[in-house]
């Protein structure tokens, strides 16, 4: 008998063989998460590593990795690309949203998926992801809503075995999520169905932050999404930071410090580490880059090879992405100006957001620079 | 030159949606037409509303249309930005007055699919985005309003997957399943406004947009719409000045309100 009571019908619906359920166990296995948390050094020591060292040390084949940030906002995409460069295989991916798993699946980096949302909001459905699931390049292990997955991470962070929730009831997701159970609220006199959501413990998470000190105390500006909760839950935590500041800086201005050092295994100085996504307060998202990603690289069968070649071989790091793809220093200056304008942090009356959308018949097919030519 | 073009179907939806919002309310918003409607309401009849987003963003100063629920226009100069689990907690705890939700498919009980189209779970025609916050809003909202385009492909007899529960199987079934909130109140589409018949909880025509007959609305629907007795009122169209605000101040680049060519 296994360690957990998975619903057999749900396993059958997902076509997960009962002998394969150990694959599911680690996500909800408090005992091993506790052990991992106990085992790591709890001392405030210098944890700085390079991104290459941090990934090599802390991301292992088959780990459960979380997608953090929000699709293309403050997501450690540059670190994901390094995971791919290092040839790490067979990861399980979880996150709300988990948009970035799509291009990692075709590369063999991700082979199992926990799903709550994958796509690019109004830029639409991710056709590549649709093909990946249907053709079995990734195996779906569970269906979630954003809210219920958030509760699973939150339960882990605040230190409880799980949460009772009023979400998911009556929906088909209950039939496709082996981790949740419909149970009665024990305090109500009348029958009162709830779903029980166990605390979720991913193996490893990478969280991109604005500032961190060398111990791992970390500061975030903008929506937290689930990242403070995930930092408390994950067995291994890598912080990539736009800037490493002295510990006294965080003591003197502690507003926005949301991750305590004790959770953290590695701290990586990684300016522009959210590329090719956006970073609140610092840089706007490269719009043509995303449009080409969704409309061509991730859409057209076979085009992803070109994407890998560009981002994993031609570009060795995020600085190469800036220099070789986005337009270099002009992009940097404009990206800062655009995000500050949209956030109301500069005089935005004269800031021009115009750019030419990338389309399949684009005369400048290879140009993903947002075509900003006014500086 | 004065822009005299009448409202297109997307502008019509945005206007009707905005009319659902009352001043002083907290409104839970996704990107797309709900964002247009929220901004329009705030710039016209409901200046004191608070917008809430699933990323944890809250109460931004009004700016351009956001490109993501996590994008800066959802938290521009917000006095406070929360996190995801709290934003859904606000719904459960009664701090959200209205919520707007989209669909890929919807059935006669206001149940919604955003998971997949055609076939079954393992062998579908197209897999969509999945739930995101869709199920959470549908499960927890007090005043849920569904919004989208209307066609027989979208208004279906049977969903290919039930992402979110509206009135489930009608009658008392939503409550018996344990759900809170009060079920969907209305569906606003390119053809009309629908509510749910008390008791059966089946979708019922409330008003139809100009030029849409009950027969035409039925033709655009894969299930039997409930037709109330008597004449069906025409949905009021946006007055000139509101269309102008919509085009000039709310969505000037037509990100969400220009018709796809």
What pLDDT, in 10s, does the model give residues B178-190?
A: 999 889 999 999 9
Facing A167 at nearest CB: one of B77, B140, B255: B140
CB spacing of B72 vs A342 below 8 angstroms: yes
Q: Considering chain B, what is the average pLDDT of its residues?
A: 93
Question: Looking at residue B2, what is its pLDDT?
Answer: 66
> B92 contacts in A (CB within 8 Å)?
166
Q: Say if the Cβ atoms of A117 and B129 lie within 8 Å.
A: yes
Confidence (pLDDT) at A326 = 95
Contacts of A305 (CB under 8 A, 6+ apart): none
pLDDT for residue A122: 62
| Nearest chain B CA: its distance from A53 CA (Å) | 30
Per-residue pLDDT at B3 exceeds 80: no
Q: What is the distance between the alpha carbons of residues B84 and A152, in angstroms, rounded to a whole number?
A: 12
Residues in chain B closer than 8 A to A229 (CB atoms): 83, 85
Q: Do B56 and A225 touch (CB under 8 A)?
A: yes
pLDDT of residue A352: 84
Of B77, B81, B131, the CB nearest to A146: B131
Q: Read off the tokens for A61.
A: 């084949």
Residue B54's pLDDT band (cuts 50, 70, 90)? confident
Angstrom distance (rounded) from CA B55 to CA B74: 9
- Which stretches of chain A drop beneath a pLDDT of 50? 375
Which pLDDT band holds residue B29 (cuts at 50, 70, 90)?
confident
CA-nearest residue of chain A to B60?
A343
Answer whether residue B65 shows pLDDT above 90. Answer: no
pLDDT value, residue B56: 84
- A204 neighbors A236 (Cβ within 8 angstroms): yes
Residue among A13, A133, A343 minimizing CB distance to B76? A343
List, in sequence order, every residue forming a beta bridge with A271; answer none if it has no partner.
none
- In this prediction, residues B119-133 reach a mean pLDDT of 94
Write out chain B residues lying below 8 Å of A69, CB-based.
70
* pLDDT value at B104 more than 60: yes
Size of interface A-B (CB pairs under 8 A): 190
Of residues B4 and A326, the one with the higher pLDDT is A326
Q: Could you tell me the two tokens for A192? A: 């009162």
**pLDDT surpassing 90 at residue B71:** no
Give me the numbers of helices (H) and strands (E) for chain B, helices first please: 7, 11
| Chain segment B195-239, per-residue pLDDT in tens | 999 999 999 999 999 999 999 999 999 999 999 999 999 999 999
User: What pLDDT is stored for residue A371 in this prediction?
Assistant: 67
Q: In Å, how far is A30's CA from the nearest CA of chain B?
A: 21
Mean pLDDT of B96-103: 94
pLDDT the model gives residue A79: 98
Residue A241's SS3 state is strand
Rounded distance between C-alpha atoms, residue A184 and residue B178, angstroms: 9
* % pLDDT > 70, chain B: 99
Contacts 24+ apart (CB under 8 A), A13-16: A13/A175, A13/A176, A13/B121, A14/A140, A14/A141, A14/A142, A14/A176, A14/A178, A15/B122, A16/A139, A16/A141, A16/A178
Which residue, among A219, A97, A230, has the nearest Cα to A151 in the 3D structure? A230
């Amino acid at each position: 008998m296994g360690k957990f009571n998975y619903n057999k019908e749900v396993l059958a619906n997902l076509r997960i063989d009962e002998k394969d359920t150990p694959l599911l166990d680690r996500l909800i296995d408090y005992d091993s998460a506790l052990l991992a948390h106990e085992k790591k050094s709890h001392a405030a020591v210098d944890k700085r590593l390079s991104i290459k060292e941090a990934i090599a040390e802390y991301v292992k084949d088959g780990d459960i990795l979380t997608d953090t940030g929000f699709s293309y906002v403050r997501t450690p995409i540059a670190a994901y690309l390094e995971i791919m460069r290092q040839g790490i295989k067979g990861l399980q991916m979880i996150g709300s949203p988990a948009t970035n798993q799509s291009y990692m699946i075709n590369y063999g980096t991700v082979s199992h998926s926990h799903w709550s949302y994958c796509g690019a909001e109004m830029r639409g459905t991710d056709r590549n992801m649709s093909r990946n699931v249907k053709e079995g390049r990734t195996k779906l292990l569970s269906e979630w809503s954003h809210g219920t997955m958030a509760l699973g991470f939150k339960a882990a962070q605040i230190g409880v075995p799980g949460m009772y929730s009023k979400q998911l009831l009556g929906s088909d997701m209950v039939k496709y999520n082996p981790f949740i159970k419909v149970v009665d609220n024990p305090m109500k006199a009348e029958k009162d169905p709830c779903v029980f959501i166990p605390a979720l413990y991913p193996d490893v998470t990478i969280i991109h932050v604005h500032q961190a000190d060398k111990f791992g105390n970390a500061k975030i500006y903008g929506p937290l999404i689930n990242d403070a909760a995930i930092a408390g839950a994950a067995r291994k935590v890598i912080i990539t930071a736009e800037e490493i500041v002295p510990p006294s800086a965080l003591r003197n201005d502690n507003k926005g410090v949301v991750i305590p050092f004790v959770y953290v295994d590695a701290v990586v100085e990684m300016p522009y580490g959210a590329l090719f996504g956006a970073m609140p307060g610092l840089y706007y998202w490269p719009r043509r880059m995303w449009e080409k990603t969704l409309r061509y690289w991730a859409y057209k069968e076979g085009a992803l090879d070109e994407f890998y070649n560009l981002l994993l071989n031609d570009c060795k790091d995020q600085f190469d992405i800036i220099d070789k793809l986005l337009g270099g220093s002009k992009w940097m200056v404009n990206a800062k100006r655009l995000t500050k304008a949209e956030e109301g942090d500069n005089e935005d009356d004269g800031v021009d957001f115009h750019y030419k959308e990338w389309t399949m018949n684009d005369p400048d097919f290879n140009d993903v620079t947002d075509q900003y030519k006014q500086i | 030159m004065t822009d005299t073009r009448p409202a297109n179907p997307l502008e019509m939806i945005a206007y009707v949606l905005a009319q659902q919002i009352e001043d002083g309310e907290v409104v839970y918003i996704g990107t797309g037409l709900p964002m247009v409607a929220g901004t329009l309401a705030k710039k016209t009849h409901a200046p004191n509303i608070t917008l809430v987003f699933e990323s944890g963003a809250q109460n931004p100063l009004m700016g351009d249309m956001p490109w993501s629920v996590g994008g800066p226009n959802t938290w521009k100069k917000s006095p406070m930005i929360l996190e995801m689990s709290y934003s859904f907690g606000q719904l459960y705890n009664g701090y959200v007055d209205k919520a707007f939700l989209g669909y890929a498919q919807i059935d006669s009980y206001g149940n919604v699919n955003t998971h997949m189209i055609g076939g079954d779970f393992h062998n579908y025609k197209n897999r969509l985005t999945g739930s995101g916050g869709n199920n959470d809003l549908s499960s927890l909202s007090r005043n849920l309003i569904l919004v989208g385009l209307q066609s027989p492909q979208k208004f279906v007899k049977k969903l290919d997957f039930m992402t979110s529960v509206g009135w489930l199987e009608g009658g008392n079934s939503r409550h018996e399943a344990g759900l809170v909130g009060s079920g969907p109140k209305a569906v606003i589409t390119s053809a009309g406004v629908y509510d749910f018949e008390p008791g059966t909880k089946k979708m019922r025509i409330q008003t139809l947009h100009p030029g849409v007959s009950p027969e035409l609305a039925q033709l655009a629907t894969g299930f039997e719409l409930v037709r109330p007795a008597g004449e069906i009122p025409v949905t009021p169209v946006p007055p000139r000045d509101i269309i102008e605000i919509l085009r000039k101040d709310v969505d000037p680049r037509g990100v969400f309100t220009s018709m796809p060519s």
